[in-house]
Structure 1
């Protein structure tokens, strides 16, 4: 570029270069003299032209020493070790449930089979890492692509040799001898074997790319982390649930949650219960994955359990039996709602009308009876926990009998089943006593869902809390004096016996409650089922009546769900029952039957 100097004619400092002529002129057009443009590009170089080249040092750089702990496992080996810890944890959980619930020893066999099916149905199953690691220690290649390419190269070379033998079998002896020499040369030529291996690696890489193109989720699933959402410790509890359903054990999800929160079954902080030869290889991410902070919720356990039941039936044809509904319904009637056999029978009858699916997944239930062409094969949103469906059905029965809206309802006929149910005020008083009895249980009082104000506790409750902490933090005490830590250093002489909530519940429910009286001549009193109110569960500004709210809170706490979720299930069943009732009335009007005086 021209120097930034003044033009000798006009004194301008603004210069520009003409592209076509290459002349430099000022802003006024005066051409700069004694200026030439040179090009540094040479087309023809002579023999004596000197070239520069870069010399690279052949010295290898010194590798930095790794500061990683060699005892910790990473990658696929860490995943396999993680599943080993889960399997050992499952065995401890199975042994605990067999001792707590007096289950038969066949329960362990069922859990083992379901665990195997569960691992096979994972999106990313556990790898066979110990075999690959052993091959690495011996010095062989363990890359899956390399192993596949080697096998393909061997098969390709073997097939080419067999074809050569077949083609040359009918030739003369000299041809056969030359072919055998060629074959021996092929076997001994390392360059040809290397070319065949590289060719097979290229083909295998192209095949892998095409498979990845057809399965885009495979790589992304493997890069998410150590574990996925279906292979966490909560899946162990789901395996136990499916095993209990398979053996027709009448359990609910809150049974597992209670033994987890009371630290009777290993789930919270289970790494301390594993042997040292397993925990020494765990990284901090693996320890975090094995140590959940809270017990799983009811809805999470149902989602995982229903997935396992659905997948093992679709893949292997293993059908999970239906819920053992009779004992579970009696637990709902007696333990949850404090009801009588009359409430049990009414709930069972209404559940038959609502066609409740008593399976882990709604797809495993039989299809509905279709009367019309437009009738559905199954009800929508039926994939709810079965005990929650039974509780919601019982609440609908209570609303039909009592209303639970502040208005008095009395039966007018002695054959009405509402006559055998207790009076509303006595029944609500029983529910309040049941809530107080549950709070005296150590498993509920010291659980993670309840805030314990230490300053307001009495001496007996503090002693029970210390016993609970001893069992949770120290574990079971052996007879050996060396392992009795608290007794040696912090001995407590006064130990109160734990209060059994089942005894309190049976004592409260054993007393006879007065039955509902018949309606006399009072015309302003409603009958059971009259003026039925359906509350919208999405009305965030609305408020439930006091009686209905007491029943909902008691049921939601017993099943382990929120009040809003339970109200949504109750509303769903109420609207389904209203549709069934309107269809029944329409059918009676079409047939001309007058059944207005009959009450079901």
Structure 2
């Protein structure tokens, strides 16, 4: 056989001649046997018969085609993303209402009211969407003109971004879910205040947030980042949300009372402006009685609250924002009510040691609160569950077994999520987690307010009665005299500071802000007293003439 008629093939990458030391790179096949270029026979070669159709098919590769998959984006955008965002808010709102009806015992009518309010709120967004679509359709049908061509030239991307930003402003926010729940309770005139709603959120009883703490290395101040419990949403809903709506559901600051009050006022203005709705005033008797019990005060304070309300012409009702009330915290009815409770308490039960003697045994100030015993009793009602958020590492060493177990349960509920862990699954199986339920931190939290009030009333001090006209030469101080106004925190004594702090916590606002509200109410009372004095002097001058 001549070398010209032999057809050589190149060895594959990992193949070479089996003869030791042979460096041939090609081979040929003859009579079913395989030889390298230098004639060394290759062992272990078996030639198979090929069909004529497969002639000269070496080097041709075939690939199996997989199923055709539809290309889907990781996240939604445009109107579909907004609809998914609204569905997420609606699911959170439903879970909040479900907790209020099953745990707090609210009636099924409450869910219907909140559902109707949500429908009206979202209906405005859908109406704007339909109106925008109708406007775009009419624009497409409009005849061509040079003016429209000039308007279309310029910065279409900037205009599109402005329109999208304006439309996003109409979307409801996460805080509106709690606000709608409060408005539903307000329409039913239930004795539940904003401060109580804030307590549910802070203790992580109602679905809204979870807290993650981190250490600031610059000043070693422990800070808190608060964001909603997104694991309550299904994973397929979260994965489709774009970044802008994810950030709308992840709050970076703790929820505070002024923000909730402001959102409630904003929604009331929304319903008033678009649907001409008005909301009823607070259920004053029940809510005032509840606040009096929570503050550990005698029920004799309530008549003074009614009198002060009439003097200041307060309705305890959320008003539609105007130039005189918009932005003023004194216009919020619950803060007004708790401010009047504080003023009525300072008039009848001042935080000092000055003796004030009532005129008769029927006077409501005949008995006086022992403020030292009040502080010792009310200090036990501190909500330790709220302290878990700001817990430090050194506090762990002072915990007993039960406190530590409850803290770990709180950590599991708030800090862990359903994302895939980077820790080995075999290692996690060594420490399985059990399902935990919300529970009170301390047995003292289950104590009824009436029990605390009973303890305080056991220490009431009976004051001496000094009827008018007994001894004219002796100056007797009556209840209400030497009234002390506090303008800043440094003027508060120990008992007044404890009382103001508890009242501000009940209202759900900071202490300094609450002192400003009380001070404004006192200024209004001073104005009324001065006006009444001027009327009396004018009437006396008129009778003398």
Mark the runs of 5 or more structure 1 residues left unpaired by the alignment.
1-67, 130-141, 154-198, 365-375, 476-484, 594-600
Match of 1:288 in 2: 247
Gap regions ≥5 residues in structure 2:
1-70, 210-227, 418-427
Q: Show the counterpart of 2:363.
A: 416
CA displacement at 1:591 relative to structure 2: 3.0
- The offset of 1:143, in angstroms, is 8.3
Query: What's the TM-score once normalised by structure 2's chain length?
Result: 0.68
Query: For 1:183-332, what aligned pairs fall within 5 Å after superposition?
Result: 199=144, 222=163, 224=165, 227-228=168-169, 231-268=172-209, 269-293=228-252, 295-332=254-291
Residue of structure 1 equivalent to 2:311: 353
Of the two structures, which has the highest relative contact order with CA contacts closer than 8 Å and spacing of 6 or more?
2
Alignment check: 8 A CA contact 1:85 1:278 kept:
yes
* Cα distance, 1:106–1:523 mapped onto 2, change above 3 Å: same
- The answer on whether the counterparts of 2:269 and 2:321 sit within 8 Å (CA) in structure 1 is yes
Following superposition of structure 1 onto structure 2, how do residues 581-596 of structure 1 map, counting pairs within 5 Å? 581-592=529-540
- Tell me which moved more, 233-242 or 270-279: 270-279
Query: Superposition pairs for residues 445-524 of structure 1, below 5 Å?
Result: 445-446=387-388, 448=389, 453-472=395-414, 489=432, 499-503=443-447, 505-511=449-455, 512-518=458-464, 523=474
Residue in 2 aligned with 1:70?
73
Superimposed CA distance per residue, residues 401-453 of structure 1 (whole angstroms, 9 cap, x where no aligned partner): 2332553433344343211x433xx24422332122224x53x343x366682
Cα RMSD, aligned residues only:
4.1
Shift of 1:225: 8.6
More off after superposition, 261-270 vs 250-259 = 261-270
Relative to structure 1, the CA distance from residue 349 to residue 553 in structure 2 (aligned partners, 3 Å threshold; closer, same or farther) is same
2:261–2:332 Cα contact (<8 Å) kept: yes
1:146 deviates by: 5.9
Distance in 2, matches of 1:120 and 1:206, equals: 35
Structure 1 distance, partners of 2:101, 2:429, is: 28
Q: CA deviation at 1:227?
A: 4.5
1:92 aligns with 2:105: no
Match of 2:478 in 1: 527
Q: Provide Cα deviations, 1:204-224, integer angstroms capped at 9, x if missing partner.
A: 677899xx9xxxx99775454
Match for residue 109 of structure 1? 112
Tell whether the 8 Å contact from 1:90 to 1:236 is kept in structure 2 after alignment.
Answer: yes
Find the partner of 2:299 among 341, 364, 367: 341
Q: Single out whichever of 255-264 and 399-408 deviates more from structure 2.
A: 399-408
Distance of 1:294 and 1:379 partners within structure 2: 24
What corresponds to 1:134 in structure 2? none
Shift of 1:383: 5.0
Question: Is the CA contact 1:72–1:280 (under 8 Å) kept in the aligned structure 2?
Answer: yes
| CA–CA separation in structure 1 for the residues paired with 2:137 and 2:539 | 76
Q: 8 Å contact 1:322–1:358 — kept in the other structure?
A: yes
* Residues in 2 aligned to 1:380 and 1:279: alpha-carbon distance in whole angstroms: 35
In the alignment, the residues of structure 2 paired with residue 339 and residue 568 of structure 1 have an alpha-carbon distance, to the nearest angstrom, of 22
- Whether 1:536 and 2:495 are equivalent positions in the alignment is no
Q: Which residue of 1 aligns with 2:332?
A: 385
